[in-house]
Amino acid sequence: MDLDLGQLRALEATVTAGTLDGAARALHVTPSAISQRLRALETATGRVLLVRSKPVRVTDSGEAVLRLARQVALLTADVTRELVGGVEQGPVALPIAVNADSLATWVLPALAPLAGEVTFDLHREDQERTAALLREGRVTAAITGDADPVPGCSVTRLGSMRYRPVATAACTRRWFPGGFTAAALARAPVVVFDRTDDLQYRYLRSRGVDERTPPVHHVPASADYVTAIRLGFGWGMLPAQQEPPGELVGLDPAGAVDVVLHWQQWKLRSPTLDRVAAAVLAAARRELDQAAGG
C-alpha cells in the first residue's frame, strides 16, 4: 500500500485542528484541497478514516493511519534537522498526554529546557485515560497509570505520587469533631477534581463509605482544586508536591494512596522524542517516590 505524504499531512492537520478549514489554514491550502487529499487517502486504504463532524472524529481504522502520519512527521523533522546540521530549522512539534497533577507540579520544569527546540502540545487527561490518547494516535507519548504497553509503544515506570486526605483546621473541627470516622466521612463535603477523578472515591471505598453519600464539589483545575481545599470547601486528596506548607491538616496518617505513573512512548528511533523522555525520566527520579506503590 503506497500512502502519499501530503495526504498523511492532511489527515494529521485535520485531526489536530478539528476541522477541514483549520487544516487548510495550517497547511496554506484550500479546504477543497484538504477534502480531496482525505478522500484519496481513504481510497488508498480502503477504509473510512474520519467522521466529518465538528470536531472531526477518528475511526478505528483512522487511528492506525493517524499514528503513522504523526510518526512520519516526527521522523521527517528529525532527519531534516540532522541533514541541515547547524542551520536553524525551528522546533519539532510533539503532542504528549499528561495527568493534571503532574502537569501542575513537576512536568513543566522538566520540559522547559527543551522548549526552544520542541513545541509541546500537552493534552491534560486523567492518568487512567492518557493511554487512550496514545492508542488513538493523538499523542506521541503519555504519562499514564497504565503499566500495560499500548501496541507499538514502550513503557517505563516513573514512580509514585503519594496522595493523602487533607483539610483546613476549621473544616476538620466542623466536620470531624469526633475524629476521622466513616460516619463523619459520609457527611463531610469532599472536593473532587472532575467526573473522571476516582481518587477520593477510591479512598472512601477503602474506608467502607458509600461514595454516593457525601456532598461533592467538582473543581476541575489543579491550582483551583488546592485553593478550594484551602478555603474550606471540604477535604480532598493532595500529593505532597501540591500541599501548601503548614496550611492543611492530614486527616488520616495511614490513609495515603499511591498512584503509580509510567511513561509510554512510540517505539521510534527519534532523537527528539528520546531527549524528551530523558528529561521526563530524570525529573521523575527527583520528584516522585521511587519505592511506594510497588
Quick: pLDDT tens for 91-124.
788 999 999 999 999 999 999 999 988 999 999 9
pLDDT of residue 276: 96
pLDDT of residue 194 exceeding 80: yes
- Name the grid cell of 285: 527520579
Chain segment 239-256, per-residue pLDDT in tens: 999 999 999 999 998 889
Q: Which range has the worst mean pLDDT, 31-35, 82-86, 127-131, 151-155?
A: 82-86
**Per-residue confidence at 291, pLDDT binned at 50, 70, 90?**
low
- Which SS3 state, helix, strand or coil, does residue 267 take? coil
Q: How confident is the model at residue 268 (pLDDT cuts 50, 70, 90)?
A: confident
What's the pLDDT score for residue 224? 96
Per-residue pLDDT for 63 more than 80?
A: yes
The beta strand positions in the chain, using DSSP E, are 50-51, 57-58, 92-98, 118-124, 141-144, 153-167, 190-192, 216-218, 236-239, 249-250, 257-266
pTM: 0.82
Cis peptide before 271 (omega within 30 of 0): no
Report the interhelical angle of 20-27 vs 31-45 (nearest 10°): 110
For position 116, what pLDDT does the model report? 87
CA–CA dist 72, 68 (Å, integer): 6
Quick one: average pLDDT of 280-294?
Answer: 83
Percent of the chain at pLDDT above 90?
A: 75
To the nearest 10°, the Cα dihedral for 125, 129, 130, 133?
Answer: -110
| 260, 134 Cβ separation under 8 angstroms | no
> Which domains can be identified in the chain, with CATH numbers?
1-86 (1.10.10.10), 161-258 (3.40.190.10)
- pLDDT over 70 at 87, yes or no: no
Q: Is the pLDDT of residue 33 over 90?
A: yes
pLDDT of residue 89: 60
Q: What is the dihedral of CA 84, 85, 88, 91, to 10 degrees?
A: 90
The predicted structure's pLDDT at residue 2: 79
